[in-house]
Amino acid sequence: MSEAFEKIPKERHISLCPCKSTKSYQDCCLRFHQNKALPETAEKLMRSRYCAFFFRLPDYLVETTHPDSRSPGLRRDLEETIHHTDWKFLTIVSTSKGQKEDKRGKVEFIGDYFWDGEVQQLREHSRFRRFKGNWKYLDDKG
Ligand SMILES: [Zn+2]
C-alpha cells in the first residue's frame, strides 16, 4: 500500500473509524485501505473514501475512482485537496440502490471540513458504478 498509509499509527486501528460508522477503524475501513477486502456496497465505498481523505491516502482515492472519471490530473487534484482540507464529520443523508445485487448506486452525504482553517460544508449526491465487479466512485452528479 502507499507510503501515506504506512504512516497511520497502529494505535489508530482500534480507535473509532473516522467515517462515523461507530465501528473501530480495523473493523471498518482499514481492510479496504489495505486492499484486503472490497466494499460490498456503494455506501461502504463512500465511507472508505471519506476516511481516505481524512487519513490522506490519495492512492486509494485514485484506485476507487471509476476509470471513466479518472482525468489525467486527478491524482494531482486529490493531493491538492488533501493538502488544504481537514475533514471533521460525515453524515450520510440517504442512499439509493448500491447494494450487493445492484450495478449502480447513489449516496447523498454532508461532509464538514476545514479548508485552510475556514469552516466549510460539502453536500453531495455521489454516483457509484461497478467496474469489473467492484464499486467505484463515478461523479457528484447524482
Ligand atoms: Zn469506516
Q: Binning pLDDT at 50, 70 and 90, where does residue 103 land?
A: very high
How many domains does one find in the chain? 1
Report the mean per-residue pLDDT for the chain.
95
In one-letter notation, the amino acid at residue 23 is K
Going from the Cα of 36 to the center of ligand 1, the distance in angstroms, rounded, reads 14
Residue 100 has pLDDT above 80, yes or no: yes
Amino acid 32 reads F
- At 16 the pLDDT is 96
Ligand 1 centre to CA of 76 (Å) is 24
How many Å lie between the centroid of ligand 1 and the Cα of residue 71? 26
Q: How many CB atoms lie within 10 A of CB 1?
A: 13
CATH number for 42: 3.10.450.50
The residue assigned the cell 471533521 is: 88
How far does residue 19's CA lie from ligand 1's centre (Å)?
4
Centre of ligand 1 from the C-alpha of residue 75, in Å:
22
CA of 47 to the centre of ligand 1 (A): 6
Cα 17 to its chain centre, rounded Å, is 12
Examine the pLDDT at 1 and tell me if it is beyond 70.
Answer: no
Banded pLDDT at 9 (limits 50, 70, 90): confident
Strand locations in the chain (E): 85-97, 104-115, 118-131, 134-139
Distance from the alpha carbon of residue 20 to the mean position of ligand 1, in angstroms: 7
Q: How many angstroms does the Cα of residue 48 sit away from the middle of ligand 1?
A: 6
pLDDT at residue 116, rounded to an integer? 96
Q: Is a pLDDT exceeding 90 seen at residue 10?
A: no
Q: Which long-range contacts (CB under 8 A, 24 or more apart) does 54-58 make?
A: 54/18, 54/19, 54/87, 55/4, 55/5, 55/8, 55/18, 56/4, 56/82, 57/2, 57/4, 57/5, 57/33, 58/2, 58/4, 58/82
User: Can you read off the three cell numbers belonging to residue 29?
Assistant: 475501513
Give the residue numbers spanning the domain of 125: 3-139
Give residue-wise pLDDT tens across range 109-133. 999 999 999 999 999 999 999 999 9
**Could you give the CA distance from residue 116 to residue 119 in angstroms, rounded to a whole number?**
9
Q: How confident is the model at residue 4 (pLDDT cuts 50, 70, 90)?
A: low
Average pLDDT over residues 11-18: 93
